[in-house]
């Protein structure tokens, strides 16, 4: 892969939450090497020795695992960067605390690491130690001072060592605060500085955004892209869509580009594959075409289409406003038809039922047929949440059919309410909210129906016009069988 565009092509393991196991990280590094990446920055917020107990040394057996990882990264053409973060504030003036920092970094240097990072993001604002106020005129000068001393220490060991810094203010538009300018003026020119774009999680990053930051900072930054990361308030989402909204000219105004990873290592590969295509040739990058190739590469050719169907129900992120565009518009079309008093056998409702069947089959394939078991494990909570939403929609449609045609409405409503209760405990965001509107319509009409067993419509509906024909739909056959059970029988059976 050519290096004509972005010199630094990296990822950041920098999220809050459970960080990767060494096997997960090493597998990801192999993938990244194949995709032409050349930087892996290690800085997960929940690693206690990285952040909240930064002064504590790692146990020797953990350092041995890091040594194996650093060696593997080097074999794959990737520079492994170990970063430290002062979650408990450091005394910038203290020579003893600086020695603790360099002693920790020396353990990684001795194991082959030549890139280091200091992450000042999301830390306590201001100084925590009174003597720092007397020594440094501002926080920026203290950050620059410790970074410059770390770089000098590392380069005395090996002149090829590099240093990355995430500043305390790492996003925004002009006017930037004095912190950014002061940091740039006092920081060694060789230090790479991160910038996430106009927002922490930027929908779009334009060349002029980066240029404006670079002018104040006094150097081109490295773009830290907070996609596909899904930590904190985003942890109910899994981000499976392609990279979008990154200007083709970013390579000309930055030193490089690094993507912050998801909590799910294997699922991160889908977005990363598209990032790799963007980094390889940003001028002709096509997000949708890159996404199709990513799905086939990560899931396998036989699972690419089921994965696409599922992933299109899990698109909401900083890049995409809508979670499940197709499921939403199909559901809204059916709702509009029903609210116009059209039959449940009308085309929009029938098409929604067919869509449910196809999406259920895709979920079944991903659970039981996909060869990539690590991906299956990453996605399983969302797959099962989507299956639950499909059950909710199907029961709602069956209840609406019963309102029209007569029959055992009680069983259908029990199934719908059970599916709704299951969804409320899932905690995973997938499939959008339109299905809930369909369930609410079923509730409204069931209340009018009064569970009397008589249809609101006068004309009979033949079996051939039924919405969920047992002969056409395997999931409907299960539902029809279940409806023959006594009232106390279980509501929703597992789809097969």
* Residue where the block lists tokens 């116009």: 340
Compute the distance between CA of residue 429 and CA of residue 314 in angstroms, rounded to an integer: 8
**Is 341 an active-site residue?**
no
Of 27, 122, 145, 408, the catalytic one is 122
> Nearest Cα to 123, choosing from 170, 175, 178, 176?
170
- For the beta carbon of residue 48, count every other beta carbon within 10 angstroms: 12
What residues are annotated to the active site?
Answer: 122
């Amino acid at each position: 892969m050519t290096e004509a565009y972005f010199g630094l092509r990296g990822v950041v393991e920098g999220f809050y939450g459970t960080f990767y196991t060494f096997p997960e990280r090493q597998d990801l590094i192999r993938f990244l090497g194949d995709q032409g990446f050349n930087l892996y920055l290690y800085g997960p917020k929940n690693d206690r020795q990285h952040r909240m107990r930064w002064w504590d040394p790692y146990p020797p057996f953990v350092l041995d695992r890091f040594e194996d990882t650093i060696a593997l990264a080097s074999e794959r053409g990737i520079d492994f960067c170990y970063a430290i973060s002062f979650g408990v504030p450091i005394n910038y003036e203290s020579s003893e605390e600086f020695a603790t920092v360099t002693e920790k970094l020396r353990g990684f240097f001795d194991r082959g690491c030549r890139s280091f990072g200091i992450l000042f993001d999301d830390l306590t604002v201001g100084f925590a130690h009174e003597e720092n106020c007397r020594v440094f005129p501002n926080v920026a000068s203290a950050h620059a001072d410790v970074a410059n001393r770390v770089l000098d220490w590392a380069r005395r060991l090996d002149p090829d060592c590099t240093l990355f810094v995430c500043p305390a203010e790492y996003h925004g538009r002009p006017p930037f605060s004095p912190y950014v300018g002061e940091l740039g003026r006092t920081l060694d020119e060789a230090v790479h500085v991160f910038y996430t774009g106009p927002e922490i999680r930027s929908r779009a990053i334009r060349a002029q955004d980066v240029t404006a930051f670079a002018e104040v900072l006094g150097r081109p930054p490295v773009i830290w892209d907070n996609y596909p990361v899904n930590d904190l308030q985003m942890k109910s989402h899994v981000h499976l869509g392609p990279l979008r909204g990154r200007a083709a000219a970013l390579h000309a105004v930055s030193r490089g580009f690094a993507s912050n990873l998801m909590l799910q290592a294997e699922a991160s590969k889908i977005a990363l594959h598209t990032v790799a295509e963007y980094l390889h040739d940003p001028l002709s990058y096509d997000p949708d075409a890159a996404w199709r190739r990513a799905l086939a590469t990560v899931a396998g050719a036989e699972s690419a289409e089921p994965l696409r169907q599922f992933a299109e129900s899990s698109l909401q992120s900083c890049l995409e406003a809508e979670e499940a565009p197709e499921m939403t518009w199909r559901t809204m079309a059916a709702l509009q038809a029903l609210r116009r008093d059209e039959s449940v056998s009308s085309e929009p409702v029938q098409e929604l039922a067919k869509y449910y069947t196809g999406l259920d089959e895709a979920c079944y394939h991903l659970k039981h047929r996909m060869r990539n078991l690590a991906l299956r494990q990453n996605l399983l909570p969302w797959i099962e949440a989507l299956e639950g939403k499909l059950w909710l929609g199907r029961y709602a449609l069956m209840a609406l059919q019963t309102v029209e045609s007569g029959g055992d409405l009680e069983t259908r409503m029990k199934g719908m309410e059970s599916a709704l209760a299951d969804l409320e405990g899932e905690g995973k965001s997938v499939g959008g909210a339109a299905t809930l509107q369909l369930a609410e319509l079923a509730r409204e009409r069931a209340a009018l129906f009064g569970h009397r067993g008589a249809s609101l419509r006068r004309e009979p509906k033949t079996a051939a016009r039924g919405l969920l024909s047992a002969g056409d739909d395997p999931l409907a056959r299960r539902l029809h069988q279940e409806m023959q059970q006594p009232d106390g029988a279980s509501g929703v059976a597992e789809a097969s």
